Structure 1
Amino acid sequence: MSDAAEAAIAIRSGVELPACRENVELHTSDGLTLVGELALPLDADPVATLVCLHPLPTHGGFMDSHIIRKAAARLPELARIAVLRFNFRGVASPRGRSDGEFGHGIAERADLAAAMDLVAARALPQPWLLGWSFGTEVALKWGLEQPIVGAILLSPPLHRTTGTELAAWQGSGKRLVAVIPEFDDYLRPAEAAARFAVVPDADVVAVDGGKHLWVGEKQTARVLAEIVARVNPAALPLPTEWRPRR
């Protein structure tokens, strides 16, 4: 076996690929400090940016929810994408606790704005919102206020998003991508197609065998590929192993 083959690392659940990782703080308009991390490509400028909005805090969602953590662990290196992830108000993780209390998707408007302030301050390119479950509600309610390319919605429940808020995305000039698991707990593909019909330009992707939590490497890889297909398609296909640079 060659040295190169011996050095190959299978990209699996716990693998964290090289990146420039920085603990950051976000400061909201209502005086809160939110904790987060910015991960940048190590040896190149990013071509695009993901602003990650995590699942429901009252059900264990935080900045380390696994798809968001794996996006930060892999995509700076594999796809030259900057990844900003943070804890919504009142949420704790190993990184720390953000100030405040859960805002039911309303007060989190200011959290999203604070994240976008950091994107602007760092001149990060081509920002996309990446929402998962509850995070999709924040993206749909407040994303149109922000200078984004679009929003990618993973397992959107559409519980807190009104029909009017969803319809407002049509003709907005901002792209909308909804990735819908076949066996979702809240919104399955047939219902999603009906609900998203008010945004005919939306890209609604049904994932066979998918579940709300996207557990397992097969589902993780599919989700990350769908993200990269919109944000930096030139980076596809994503590799399944990585070799350190010499």
Structure 2
Amino acid sequence: MEITSSTELPSNREAIELVTSDNLRLIGELATPVENKPVAVLLTLHPLPTHGGFMDSHILRKAANRLPALANLAVLRFNTRGTTSPHGTSEGTFGDGIQERLDFEAALQFLKNRNLGPIWLVGWSFGTELAIKYGFDKDIAGAILLSPPLHRATESDLLKWVGSGKQLIALIPEHDEYLAPKEAKERFSVVPEAQIIGVDGAKHLWVGEV
């Protein structure tokens, strides 16, 4: 079967609402395999909403469209506070990666209540900052970081992952204008167990790569 940019494979799609501890309602979607129990669940964290990032950004949309069928994975996507996408608008206003901790925790609690299997964080750009800053002490299997800029997330945040027992995997585009592979290896070196994977020819937005 040929997979194209618009391919949408069978899955169960459920519109969900997350409620944060400061009483904001966030819109989202959970995609699960049609027949089998998922082997794991991906909690996705979208790029910077002030620069066009949202739950329907292309990598996250394609993950939800394909991975339940191809890999038996569940995929949760949601709009952080104040973010608008074709799925709708979440309440609140952009919190510069600080108040979004509450959004992340609401999504994590939702998945714990559903008991869908091991939880992996999948952050992209701004979403990697949330994963790094707030995922180190949570009940997760690990985090996959796409194009981490390491802007809001600092060395002190990375150090909290040392000895955590959680996997930290960073995919770094060769031509990323925010953090290229060489610098990424240097900055992530404070976490000896982190796996840094350079992706030849790729750019920060992964257009044409997935």
TM (norm. structure 2) is 0.99
1:98 aligns with 2:105: no
Q: Which amino acid aligns with 2:54?
A: F
Cα distance in 2 for partners of 1:65, 1:93 equals 9
1:127 to 113, 119, 123: 119
Residue matched to 2:23: 31
Shift of 1:87: 0.3
Shift of 1:11: 1.0
Residue matched to 1:80: 72
1:151 aligns with 2:151: no
Cα distance in 1 for partners of 2:134, 2:68 equals 26
Q: Which amino acid aligns with 2:162?
A: Q
Residue matched to 1:165: 157
Shift of 1:145: 3.2
Residue matched to 2:134: 142
- Identity within the alignment, %: 61
Name the SS of the counterpart of 2:75 in structure 1: strand
- Whether contact under 8 Å (1:132, 1:153) holds in the other structure is yes
Q: Which amino acid aligns with 2:192?
A: P
Cα distance in 2 for partners of 1:53, 1:142 equals 12
Instruction: Provide, for residues 99-124 of structure 1, a one-character-per-residue CA deviation record: whole Å limited to 9, x for no partner.
Output: 00001111000000000111011111
Q: Which runs of 5+ in 1 are unaligned?
A: 1-7, 221-246
Name the SS of the counterpart of 1:198 in structure 2: coil
Q: Which runs of 5+ in 2 are unaligned?
A: none
2:199 to 207, 225, 234: 207
Residue matched to 2:60: 68
Q: Which amino acid aligns with 1:197?
A: S
Shift of 1:126: 0.6
Cα distance in 2 for partners of 1:47, 1:201 equals 24
Cα distance in 1 for partners of 2:137, 2:155 equals 17
Instruction: Provide, for residues 108-145 of structure 1, a one-character-per-residue CA deviation record: whole Å limited to 9, x for no partner.
Output: 00000000111011111010000000000000000123
Cα distance in 2 for partners of 1:211, 1:94 equals 24
Instruction: Provide, for residues 5-61 of structure 1, a one-character-per-residue CA deviation record: whole Å limited to 9, x for no partner.
Output: xxx5x2110111000000000010001000000000001110000000000000000
Residue matched to 1:234: none
Shift of 1:185: 1.3
- Whether contact under 8 Å (1:113, 1:146) holds in the other structure is no
Cα distance in 1 for partners of 2:67, 2:108 equals 19
TM (norm. structure 1) is 0.84
Cα distance in 1 for partners of 2:11, 2:138 equals 26
Q: Which amino acid aligns with 1:99?
A: E
Name the SS of the counterpart of 2:145 in structure 1: strand
Residue matched to 1:187: 179
Structure that is richer in helix per residue:
1
Cα distance in 2 for partners of 1:199, 1:145 equals 15
Residue matched to 2:41: 49
